Amino acid sequence: MTGEPAGTMLYEGKAKKIFTTERPDQVLQYFKDDATAFNAQKRGTIADKGVVNNKVSERLFTLLEQQGIPTHFIQRLSDREMLTKKVTIVPVEVVVRNVVAGSLAKRLGLTEGAIIDPALIEFYYKDDALGDPLVNDDHLRLLNVATPAVLREMRDLGHKINAVLLPFFKQRRMLLVDFKLEFGVFHNRLILADEISPDTCRFWDQTTKESMDKDRFRKDLGKIEEAYQEVLKRVCG
């Protein structure tokens, strides 16, 4: 299928469009090739990025479901389309860090590449106008976006997801440096939503420490499409 879905578009984000389906409790995610960085200040296109992210997300959601982690995934319908449960997104990004990199290194003056054990979990408030600021539990309580119980559950799920993904990527000669998770509420239950892909994860090749993710776009490292295709090959091949 080459065109966009037939349903009504509910939302368009930086990487995906969300459409209605015949069932009110299900939506269709359409993965785009658009790429953004630095809170959308940098924009571009990565050829077939949407196809890669859709297929990689399918593989990882399936893996997590098998390990008892509830997700919004139902099935992949085509190269760019994924059928999911319709969730109410909790406006908190959960970032799990296994290795010092990116903003953490800059913020705390730490050396990139240092291993973090046990993993560090950070919360970011999802608000484009504010630049998705780093927040703590008390800030989120003040903002009234998540209860202490929900934050505890998101933190717990973050560690559980990390425990599944770390060895999975290690077997594929990839270091899972850090990754972003989003959660939503479906029938009063907190479940994993959004996507898990080279857009939302930082991957390094285990041997060369070469970047295999959107950092190649952020930092103008070149060979962006090749890196995404290599992730697809290792994850789904």
Domains of the chain and any CATH numbers? 9-85 (3.30.200.20), 88-223 (3.30.470.20)
d(CA 97, CA 155): 12
The pLDDT of residue 1: 42
The pLDDT of residue 40: 67
Question: Over the stretch 208-224, which tens digit does the pLDDT of each residue have?
Answer: 999 999 999 889 898 99
The pLDDT of residue 38: 73
Question: Over the stretch 153-198, which tens digit does the pLDDT of each residue have?
Answer: 999 999 999 999 999 999 999 999 999 999 999 999 999 999 999 9
What's the rounded mean pLDDT across residues 100-105? 95
Determine how many CB atoms are found less than 10 A away from the CB of residue 37: 15
The pLDDT of residue 42: 76
Which runs of consecutive H residues, i.e. helices, occur in 21-147?
49-66, 102-108, 137-143
Q: What are phi and psi of 225, to 5 degrees?
A: -60, -40
Contact 182, 61 (CB under 8 A): no
User: Where is pLDDT greater, at 112 or 7?
Assistant: 112
Question: Over the stretch 30-89, which tens digit does the pLDDT of each residue have?
Answer: 999 988 777 767 788 889 999 999 999 999 999 999 999 999 999 999 999 999 999 999
pLDDT at 236 over 90: yes
d(CA 19, CA 16): 10
Rounded to the nearest integer, the mean pLDDT of the chain is 94
The pLDDT of residue 41: 73
3 class by beta-carbon count within 10 Å (0-12 exposed, 13-18 middle, 19+ buried): exposed
Helix axis angle for 148-170 and 49-66, nearest 10°, is: 100
User: Where is pLDDT greater, at 42 or 138?
Assistant: 138
Helix or strand run (H / E) with residue 201 = strand 201-205
Residue 64 in tokens: 């997590």
